[in-house]
Amino acid sequence: MFAISLGDDGAELRPLEPRHAAELLAHMDRGREFIGRYVGLPDIVRDLESGRTWLRTYADKAATDTGRLYGIWTDGRLVGGVLFRTMDVEQGTAEAGCWLEPSAAGRGLVTRAVRVIIDWAVRDRGIHRVEWQAASENEPSVAVARRLGMTRDGVLRESHLHHGRRLDLEVWSVLAPEWLAHQGSGPAASK
């Protein structure tokens, strides 16, 4: 198994796989309400079997090169994750996303983790455009897009129904030439 350090605080980025279903469920239970404010994942991962099924979906996406899923661990405990919800290598596009439990919020973990996966997608997989969608009300997620140097492409007004509310979705993106210009010339530059 591999782990990528996310900095001096001991945080790591690792693949999140079906064998982690119990950890994922415990993590969801710790942060269900917080995570679920803007993300539907807590509605999907309700028990061990639904967690395992969701993780298998991403194992299948990884096998078909159509998505990826990584967990963020601190002190050996799963506290969040980042993913490529979609990935089309032929078209050179991907949509990144994230979630985090409250105990890990405000430490820059998501920004650091997403930086790693975007860098991999651009440098190793030839992805040209990475997109980020966030509810306009989700200020921490919008702030991640800004910190990553993404450009706000626009707002999809009331386009996302979440828990009975229609949310505006902001669409942000970064193109490979922009990413490479802002991140430097090597993997170490993106850390």
Is the pLDDT assigned to residue 159 strictly greater than 80?
yes
Question: To which CATH superfamily is domain 4-190 assigned?
Answer: Gcn5-related N-acetyltransferase (GNAT) (3.40.630.30)
Judged on CB neighbours under 10 Å (0-12, 13-18, 19+), 178 is middle
> Across all residues in the chain, what is the average pLDDT?
92
Residue 172 CA to residue 77 CA, distance in Å, equals 30
pLDDT of residue 184: 58
DSSP string, 33-76: HHHTTT-SHHHH--SHHHHHHHHHHHHHHHHTTS-EEEEEEETT
User: Among the residues of the chain, which ranges form H helices?
Assistant: 21-35, 41-44, 48-63, 109-125, 139-147, 176-183
Query: What are the structural domain ranges in the chain?
Result: 4-190
User: 86, 51, 88, 50: which is closest to 71 by C-alpha?
Assistant: 51
Which pTM does this prediction carry? Answer: 0.90
How does residue 10 score in pLDDT terms, banded at 50, 70 and 90? confident
Summarised one tens digit per residue, pLDDT across range 46-55 is 999 999 999 9
